[in-house]
């Protein structure tokens, strides 16, 4: 009887959740009881913001970017100080494409101006996405949660005790233990068979071997994002403005060093506002716009290479040649796994952490819903016959759009399959970010230079060989009910299933190196552009200016762990506690 009751309760919850999500689709006000401090940007009045001595619109901290780091940062700082959090996107709570696991890929496929995912293509020809919603990347990622290794924490110079207090603060609120999907079990067993051992069970820790990690999807398939961490904030001291697109930071340049005094932002109606810091030395503007948005914001505000700024007629506040440099993305390549059975959606749960600097993961079920066949899936696509039928020189953005339009004619069988994902850790190949224009809504130009360094390419070859062995393993073929295929056939299928704008070569399935170059895609783990020692100091304060700090992955020289979201959220909490303790001592009460 107890089990029957549990089933009924689960069924009722799913019905309730579906009704809530469907009734709230397109509405952004049902969350106001739980988050009364979230308002539209147009509600902001600039009338009292001209004075830096006090007033309703003067703040101790102004945080630009309500994403993975910005939300925990704002919630924690608001315990003791007034905080304004400015987010250019809307809320995730009423968007079923964010909230439901089954719609994971649809949010990424939405390229409209109001999408939670802002589509961009690096100059390398790789399709990518950056978040445009409260909660940031936690709203559009695959949900996998795993901590950084101890070496990463040590290299950052972080206090290990405070780090180990900050991770659980996040985990208690939004992280769950996954119910292991059949594909994830098959990949787990295959990883162990090919020597990625030992099996470390379920753990958040980054340990060599095979493990099961956490997830921000609960057992009902509902996503929990960094936006929910705002519920830990002090509603009397916290203001969150959505659809607030910050145009630039305002500086006082009359002193020896420029001093950040406020920001100018645009609301959803296109009207401009100015928010101002209180006139106290320790008050700060903190950029948490992510690895693309933060260097872009510095450049738009006049901090960056002098010559580049002058080309766009941006007044130079500080000449710093390192802003936007050292950009890196962890290259990912995939091996397609055909199914001869119904496909169950499965995002990342199992991971193999190898000593070769390669991480192995798996996913399935992209493109399974009725809606998705009308979308393009950009990052990871299960469509066999994608763009490989188009000659390389004709594989243009226009050709992609034409493909998207014609895709509805594809047979549904083309969507049946999964992927073994192979990601390179700590790539040595780096690139740069540059402004195209002065419109903050437009993407900057980003180059990652995938596989420019030969060591990265060699690790990819090692990873593809491992991923191919997994696709051929008995555990996987018994699960998919497919015959064991040759390496050549697996690579040929995988080439056809990969989506990017990189010209294919005739030898891309004969040479593992060429396969890596031709089929590289992203796993959204880009970082850099504002490195410690070059753009910020070890406390993440921007060098050469007062009252400006950066707290996000743009300061990283490597992506933490196998997947970075855990550490970026932890960083938001960690830095806020550190700031409060340094400013208030024991009175911080954290």
For the annotated binding site for FAD, the residues are 87-88, 133, 246, 524-525, 553, 564-565
Distance CA 366, CA 130 (A): 19
Distance CA 173, CA 470 (A): 35
| SS (HEC) of 272-294 | EEEEEECCCCCCEEEECCHHHHH
Instruction: Assess whether the previous peptide bond of 198 is cis (omega < 30° from 0).
Output: yes
Helices and strands: H and E segment counts in the chain? 15, 26
Distance CA 358, CA 511 (A): 19
Provide the residue count of the chain: 590
Catalytic annotation present for 531 = no
Q: Residues 273, 376, 377, 525: which is the catalytic one?
A: 525
Distance CA 415, CA 530 (A): 40
Element (H, E) at 316: none
Distance CA 3, CA 462 (A): 47
Half-sphere exposure of 563 (CA within 13 A, CB side): 28
Distance CA 348, CA 228 (A): 22
Under 8 Å CB-to-CB from 161, ≥6 apart: which residues? Answer: none
Going from the C-alpha of 43 to that of each of 57, 228, 273, the distances in angstroms are 11, 22, 10
Handedness of CA 508, 514, 518, 523 (dihedral sign): positive
Distance CA 160, CA 183 (A): 35
Under 8 Å CB-to-CB from 492, ≥6 apart: which residues? Answer: 509
Distance CA 455, CA 526 (A): 18
Burial category of 205 from C-beta neighbours within 10 Å (exposed 0-12, middle 13-18, buried 19 and up): middle
Distance CA 469, CA 477 (A): 11
Chain Cα centroid distance, residue 564: 8
DSSP letter at 227 equals G
Q: Record the tokens describing residue 534, joined without a space.
A: 């070059």
Burial category of 27 from C-beta neighbours within 10 Å (exposed 0-12, middle 13-18, buried 19 and up): exposed
Q: Which of 118, 116, 131 is nearest to 28 (CA)?
A: 116
Q: Which of 217, 196, 215, 216 is nearest to 207 (CA)?
A: 196
Q: Which of 136, 96, 92 is nearest to 118 (CA)?
A: 136
Distance CA 506, CA 514 (A): 9
Find the Cα–Cα–Cα–Cα dihedral 344, 350, 355, 357, rounded to 10°: 60
Distance CA 318, CA 433 (A): 17
Q: Which of 305, 558, 300 is nearest to 430 (CA)?
A: 558
Q: Are 554 and 290 in contact (CB under 8 A)?
A: yes
Residues carrying an active site annotation: 525
């Amino acid at each position: 009887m107890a089990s029957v009751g549990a089933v009924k309760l689960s069924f009722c919850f799913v019905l309730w959740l579906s009704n809530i999500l469907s009734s709230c689709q397109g509405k952004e006000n049902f969350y106001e009881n739980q988050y009364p401090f979230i308002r539209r940007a147009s509600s902001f009045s600039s009338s009292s913001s001209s004075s830096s001595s006090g007033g309703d619109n003067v703040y101790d901290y102004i945080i630009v970017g309500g994403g993975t780091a910005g939300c925990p940062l704002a919630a924690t700082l608001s315990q003791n100080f007034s905080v304004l959090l400015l987010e250019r996107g809307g809320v995730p709570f009423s968007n079923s494409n964010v909230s439901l696991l089954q719609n994971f890929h649809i949010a990424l496929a939405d390229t409209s101006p109001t999408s939670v995912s802002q589509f961009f293509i690096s100059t390398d020809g790789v399709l990518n996405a950056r978040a445009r919603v409260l909660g940031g990347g936690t709203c559009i990622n695959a949900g996998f949660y795993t901590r950084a290794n101890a070496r990463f924490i040590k290299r950052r110079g972080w206090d290990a005790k405070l780090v180990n207090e900050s991770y659980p603060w996040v985990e208690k609120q939004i992280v769950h233990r996954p119910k292991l999907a059949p594909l994830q079990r098959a990949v787990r067993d295959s990883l162990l068979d090919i020597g990625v051992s030992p099996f470390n069970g379920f753990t958040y820790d980054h340990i060599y071997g095979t493990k099961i990690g956490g997830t921000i999807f609960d057992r009902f398939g509902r996503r929990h994002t960094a936006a929910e961490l705002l519920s830990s904030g002090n509603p009397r001291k916290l203001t969150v403005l959505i659809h607030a697109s910050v145009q630039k930071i305002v500086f006082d340049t009359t002193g020896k060093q420029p001093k950040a005094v406020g920001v100018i932002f645009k609301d959803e109606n296109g009207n401009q506002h100015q928010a101002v810091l209180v006139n106290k030395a320790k008050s700060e503007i903190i950029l948490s716009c992510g690895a693309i948005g933060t260097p872009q914001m510095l450049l738009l505000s006049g901090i960056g290479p002098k010559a580049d700024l002058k080309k766009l007629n941006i007044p130079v506040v500080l000449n710093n040649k390192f802003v936007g440099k050292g950009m890196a993305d962890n290259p990912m390549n995939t091996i397609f796994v055909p199914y001869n059975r119904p496909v169950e959606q499965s995002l990342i749960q199992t991971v193999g952490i190898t000593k070769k600097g390669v991480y192995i993961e798996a996913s399935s079920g992209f493109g399974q819903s009725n809606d998705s066949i009308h979308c393009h899936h950009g990052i990871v696509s299960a469509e066999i016959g994608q763009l490989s039928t188009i000659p390389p020189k004709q594989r243009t953005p226009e050709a992609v759009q034409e493909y998207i339009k014609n895709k509805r004619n594809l047979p549904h069988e083309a969507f049946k399959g999964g992927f073994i994902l192979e990601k390179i850790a700590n790539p040595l190949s780096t690139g740069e970010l540059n402004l195209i224009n002065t419109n903050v809504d437009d993407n900057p130009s980003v180059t990652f230079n995938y596989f420019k360094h030969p060591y990265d390419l060699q690790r990819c070859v090692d990873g593809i060989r491992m991923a191919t062995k997994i696709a051929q393993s008995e555990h996987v073929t018994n699960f998919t009910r497919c015959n064991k295929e040759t390496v050549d056939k697996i690579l040929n299928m995988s080439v056809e299933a990969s989506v990017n704008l990189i010209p294919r070569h005739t030898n891309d399935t004969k040479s593992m190196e060429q396969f890596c170059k031709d089929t590289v895609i992203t796993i959204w783990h880009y970082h850099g552009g504002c490195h410690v020692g070059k753009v910020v100091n070890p406390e993440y304060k921007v060098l050469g200016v007062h009252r400006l700090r950066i707290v996000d992955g743009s300061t990283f020289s490597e992506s933490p762990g196998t997947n970075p979201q855990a550490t970026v959220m932890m960083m938001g909490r960690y830095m806020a506690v550190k700031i409060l303790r340094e400013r208030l001592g024991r009175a911080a009460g954290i």
